[in-house]
Structure 1
Amino acid sequence: MGNQISALMSDSIVFSLFLRISYLGLILSIIYVLAALTYNVYFHPLKNYPGPLSWAATRIPWCWYQYHGVNWRKILELHARYGHVVRIGPNELSYTSSEAWRIIYGHRVIEMGKDPVFSLHTPTGVQNILVADRPTHTRQRRLLAHAFSEKALREQEEILQSYTDQLIRGLEARRQDAVDIGAWFMFTTFDLIADLSFGDNVGCLEKGEYDPYVAATPAISKELQYYQMLKYWGIAWARKWFMPTSVAGARMANMKRAMSTVNNRIEKNGSVDRKDFLHYILAANDEKGMSRQEIDVNAFSISTAGSESTATALSGAIFYLLQHPASYASATREVRSAFHAPEEITMSEVKKLKYLKAVLQETLRLYPPVAVTLPRRVPVEEDGVFIAGHPVPAGTTVGVNYYAAFHSPYNFHLAEKFAPERWLPEHSDHAPYANDNRDVVQPFSYGPRNCLGKNLAWAEMQLILARVLWHYDITWPKDKLGRPEVDEGWQLNQKLYGFWVKPPLRVCLKPADGIRK
């Protein structure tokens, strides 16, 4: 009996000690968190920058909106309230000025490197041009530049025209019913870029449906955004609990497919007369060139990033044109008066269509395919920098938020209005658009890391949009009462996880009057 009492007393003492240590740990944790929050708000070097206190104190608000896919909308609201610069995290500043583009992303002796917290890795861990450090990026870009040169683009026009023809045939076969034209733009750009990247025939246009390779992209992009948040909190190891097995498998399967098709294309090199990306990369490769693994990951990344962004811009252009009948009339009139047959619609000729280009420029402003911030880190080798006239200490994360900058009323007159005229010389130098800050619109980024595929993207957008507008009168579907069935919030209600999560864009197509005889 005495031994039992002694054991119970001993257990009680141990339990009591455990509770005291737990309470002490909890109290110390609370003190630490409160101290960190207090420091971030009142003593941090960024304490004088404008922004909501909750965002300055902790990263939780940013993560909350990012998790729900509406961070783009919230940061726009913050800039509208606080101005060109906003503190959106304990150690991060968001900008919307053209000066910030030049200082943060422009050519510098010491580069503002990508913030490692937000930098993503490839499935194999090998660096591609999107995530590479400065020496690796410079080396890879030197080789990839050959594949995206003006000479290469001219030689690739036959491939571009071939897929544009397939698009028109696919739309023609299905125009009796309302067509999700956004999906068909995706089919076109994925087929095209996969072919140019590594000679892969994805076959979306032929089948009229998404290939599993393509269908997995939105889920993979969403998971990568979640992974960035886990990295920030230092729990990247928990990724497996947030990433469904199906998504992880799809990402690796896509990478393996890219590697396989690249291997097949390389084996045929010399026996195939195709001016695709690999033709130029292999022709220029040398001892300082890219390894086989680097070619694989770059082909994979280019095929994803290059196709999604172009299809998004084309979908946006159709949406805005149908919402603005006067702009639609001006664009179709220009295209149809310039060409009398589809064979006349070439890359060189569509460049002459000023209004069509203005439509795409305005679309890229209002609905940029990349609508996030590309965060950079102020180099620790420097004592800080001045951005927008104010000092920013070393180690601070900085960046221009695309969507907020392009929609800022500080940068544009009637910033939310779709007005292609603001890009035309006869209007841009006069009221009401004379004071628009057009230099702030950098949809392909800025500086030495800007998008290599910019010229290709412009060629695709102008060629495809011109062909579609030349062939078809496009309208919204109508309900039983004859009223247009249009989702007014098609763009504004979208969520953003790296790429926009786009709902269907259903339209009706009718052969344009007087075009076909």
Structure 2
Amino acid sequence: MQSQHLRDITRSITYDRLLPKLNSVAQGNGRIDGLDLSYCICVDYLSSFIFGYSNGTNYLSQPKSAIDVWRFHYENLMCQESFFVQETPSLYKLLRYISIDLLPRKYTESADFLGRWMSDMASKADRATDRKRSTGLPLALEDEPVVYDMAKEAVRKDSPHLSEGDQRKQVASEMFDHICLVLGYAFWYLAQHPDAQQRIQTELNSQGIDMRSRETVTNSSKRPRAVELDSLPYLRAVIDECLRMRPTSTPLPRITPSNRKVSVAGIDGIPPGTRINTFQWFVHRDPQKWDNAHDWNPDRWLTRGNTDNKNEREDVLWAFASGPRMCLGNNWTYYAMQHILATICSSFNFTALPREENQCWPGSPEDELPIRVCLRN
């Protein structure tokens, strides 16, 4: 990804927001929740990428209560009652017709909250574009709503029957397709493995890559920084292992062909029209494919290409699915994680603090990844 727009946003997020945030934590009590930090980074980053830096969110600079409110409403969208909408849509529509809604009030309230939240950013992006056209004055490149403008035009062409509000919702739906969980747990795994942090720093030093400040990034690189980071095998191995341990996607339902039986994943005779799911969690923890499948071990990726049997180790990382429905955010995910992890490991040490093992969904508001942040000597 060689977009100057994305490079400018990445530098502003990391050096104007993330590093000051971590410096403040390190100079205070040193404690931060890895998930809170990850959600702040990812929502700020993705909203800036879509709507423009000045039009996106700024949770990294706000009190913790701000991201807590957002996470509360985001979690409510994942309520168990949404099962009926997905699995029995005809029954759900029938009951709605007679004024019986199987979805709880909290779902509706949170959907409205997040709808307004996204609409506000879209409105800011529209106003910025209108000012640019009316005054003839250019916007800073990082403030250009490049992705939003492209997506808005595509939706307008594909769905002219939708209202402006519904078109905005369709454009902004990508706001919820981000990497908060896997990045938060990447912080946690690194905090549990100080040697891994040191190996990333050593790898950066060996290639002369200095990520400590905006100035060193701007002035010291003859090649694009993304190209340099993409060439670091251990950093890539850390990211791959985090994606294996904490896949980003929900289950991926598919319907088998209506005219014949099929075989899938070694199971023969699946009837026509059957709904099937693939769970990445199980694919990534299959003991037949992975040694010590539940252990976080980036080194497995450094020896992965040495096997003679392709079926043993190749093509089993399925964090973004595959084929025509592959997640379009895969390149952005690697780009973002490479820059964020390299920047953090250049300036800070993370240490895992004692953690209560709660019975909760990973990444939920009840989940916590307590980390101590210290300045690197």
Q: Normalised by the size of structure 2, how large is the TM-score?
A: 0.79
Q: Deviations over 1:377-407 (max 9, x none)?
A: 1132x22323245232211111221101100
Would the aligned equivalents of 2:360 and 2:366 in 1 still touch at CA under 8 Å? yes
Q: Please tell me the residue identity of whatever aligns with 1:201.
A: G
Equivalent residue for 1:71? none
1:171 to 2:22 alignment? yes
CA spacing shift, 1:203–1:429, aligned 2, 3 Å:
closer
Deviation at 1:436, TM superposition (A): 3.7
Counting only pairs closer than 5 Å after superposition, residues 189-204 of structure 1 correspond to structure 2 as 189-199=42-52, 200-204=55-59
Q: After TM superposition, which residue ranges in structure 1, 4 or more long, deviate above 6 angstroms?
A: 238-241, 283-286, 431-435
Equivalent residue for 1:297? 169
Out of 259, 262, 268, the residue aligned to residue 119 of structure 2 is 259
Out of 154, 161, 171, the residue aligned to residue 11 of structure 2 is 161
1:421 to 2:287 alignment? no
Equivalent residue for 1:107? none
Out of 373, 379, 402, the residue aligned to residue 257 of structure 2 is 379
Deviation at 1:410, TM superposition (A): 1.5
Deviation at 1:248, TM superposition (A): 1.4
Q: Deviations over 1:318-345 (max 9, x none)?
A: 2222333443332232234443343345
Q: Please tell me the residue identity of whatever aligns with 2:34.
A: I
Q: Please tell me the residue identity of whatever aligns with 1:155.
A: H
Would the aligned equivalents of 2:320 and 2:327 in 1 still touch at CA under 8 Å? yes
1:369 to 2:224 alignment? no
CA distance in 1, matches of 2:90, 2:156: 41
Q: Deviations over 1:43-94 (max 9, x none)?
A: xxxxxxxxxxxxxxxxxxxxxxxxxxxxxxxxxxxxxxxxxxxxxxxxxxxx
Q: Deviations over 1:459-490 (max 9, x none)?
A: 1111111111111012134xxxxxxx245x58
Out of 331, 339, 353, the residue aligned to residue 200 of structure 2 is 331
1:495 to 2:346 alignment? no
CA distance in 1, matches of 2:237, 2:375: 24
CA spacing shift, 1:261–1:319, aligned 2, 3 Å:
closer
Would the aligned equivalents of 1:412 and 1:435 in 2 still touch at CA under 8 Å? no
CA spacing shift, 1:285–1:486, aligned 2, 3 Å:
closer
Deviation at 1:429, TM superposition (A): 3.5
CA spacing shift, 1:184–1:432, aligned 2, 3 Å:
farther
**Which region of structure 1 is more displaced relative to structure 2, 280-289 or 264-273?**
280-289
Equivalent residue for 2:79? 222
Equivalent residue for 2:35? 182
Q: Normalised by the size of structure 1, how large is the TM-score?
A: 0.59
CA spacing shift, 1:295–1:233, aligned 2, 3 Å:
closer
Q: Deviations over 1:343-401 (max 9, x none)?
A: 3453333212210110010111111122x421111132x22323245232211111221
Counting only pairs closer than 5 Å after superposition, residues 78-477 of structure 1 correspond to structure 2 as 150=1, 153-165=3-15, 166-175=17-26, 176-177=28-29, 178-199=31-52, 200-209=55-64, 210-211=66-67, 212-223=69-80, 225-228=82-85, 231=88, 234=91, 237=95, 243-269=103-129, 271=132, 273=139, 274=144, 276-281=146-151, 287=157, 292-293=164-165, 295-306=167-178, 310-337=179-206, 338-340=208-210, 341-343=212-214, 344-345=216-217, 346-370=225-249, 372-380=250-258, 382-388=259-265, 390-424=268-302, 427-430=303-306, 436-477=312-353
**Which region of structure 1 is more displaced relative to structure 2, 272-281 or 282-291?**
282-291
CA spacing shift, 1:391–1:154, aligned 2, 3 Å:
farther
CA spacing shift, 1:501–1:379, aligned 2, 3 Å:
farther
CA distance in 2, matches of 1:224, 1:195: 32
CA distance in 2, matches of 1:286, 1:221: 28
Deviation at 1:277, TM superposition (A): 1.0
Q: Which has the larger radius of gyration?
A: 1
Q: Please tell me the residue identity of whatever aligns with 1:208.
A: P
Report the 3-state secondary structure (helix = DSSP H, G, I; strand = E; otherwise coil) of the residue aligned with 2:374. Answer: strand
CA distance in 2, matches of 1:377, 1:333: 48
Q: 5+ unaligned residues in a row in structure 2: which ranges?
A: 133-137, 218-224
CA distance in 2, matches of 1:453, 1:205: 22
CA distance in 1, matches of 2:203, 2:63: 30
CA distance in 1, matches of 2:172, 2:100: 22
CA spacing shift, 1:275–1:297, aligned 2, 3 Å:
closer
Matched residue pairs, number? 344
Would the aligned equivalents of 1:373 and 1:399 in 2 still touch at CA under 8 Å? yes
Deviation at 1:421, TM superposition (A): 1.5
CA distance in 2, matches of 1:332, 1:432: 32
Would the aligned equivalents of 2:81 and 2:104 in 1 still touch at CA under 8 Å? no
CA spacing shift, 1:336–1:507, aligned 2, 3 Å:
farther
CA distance in 1, matches of 2:76, 2:177: 14
CA distance in 1, matches of 2:322, 2:253: 13
CA distance in 1, matches of 2:317, 2:365: 22
CA distance in 1, matches of 2:245, 2:157: 44
Q: Please tell me the residue identity of whatever aligns with 1:396.
A: T
Deviation at 1:231, TM superposition (A): 2.8
- Aligned alpha-carbon RMSD (Å): 3.2
Q: Deviations over 1:420-478 (max 9, x none)?
A: 11212xx123479986434122111222122112211211111111111111012134x
CA spacing shift, 1:244–1:207, aligned 2, 3 Å:
same
Q: Deviations over 1:285-337 (max 9, x none)?
A: 7745766456412333111222xxx2211111122223334433322322344
Would the aligned equivalents of 2:201 and 2:346 in 1 still touch at CA under 8 Å? yes
Q: Please tell me the residue identity of whatever aligns with 1:342.
A: S
Report the 3-state secondary structure (helix = DSSP H, G, I; strand = E; otherwise coil) of the residue aligned with 2:269. Answer: strand
Q: Please tell me the residue identity of whatever aligns with 1:184.
A: L
CA distance in 2, matches of 1:325, 1:434: 32
**Percentage identity across paired residues of the two chains:** 19
Report the 3-state secondary structure (helix = DSSP H, G, I; strand = E; otherwise coil) of the residue aligned with 1:391. Answer: strand
CA distance in 2, matches of 1:434, 1:328: 30
Report the 3-state secondary structure (helix = DSSP H, G, I; strand = E; otherwise coil) of the residue aligned with 1:445. Answer: coil
CA distance in 1, matches of 2:288, 2:4: 39
CA distance in 2, matches of 1:288, 1:226: 28
CA distance in 2, matches of 1:461, 1:363: 10
Q: 5+ unaligned residues in a row in structure 1: which ranges?
A: 1-149, 478-484
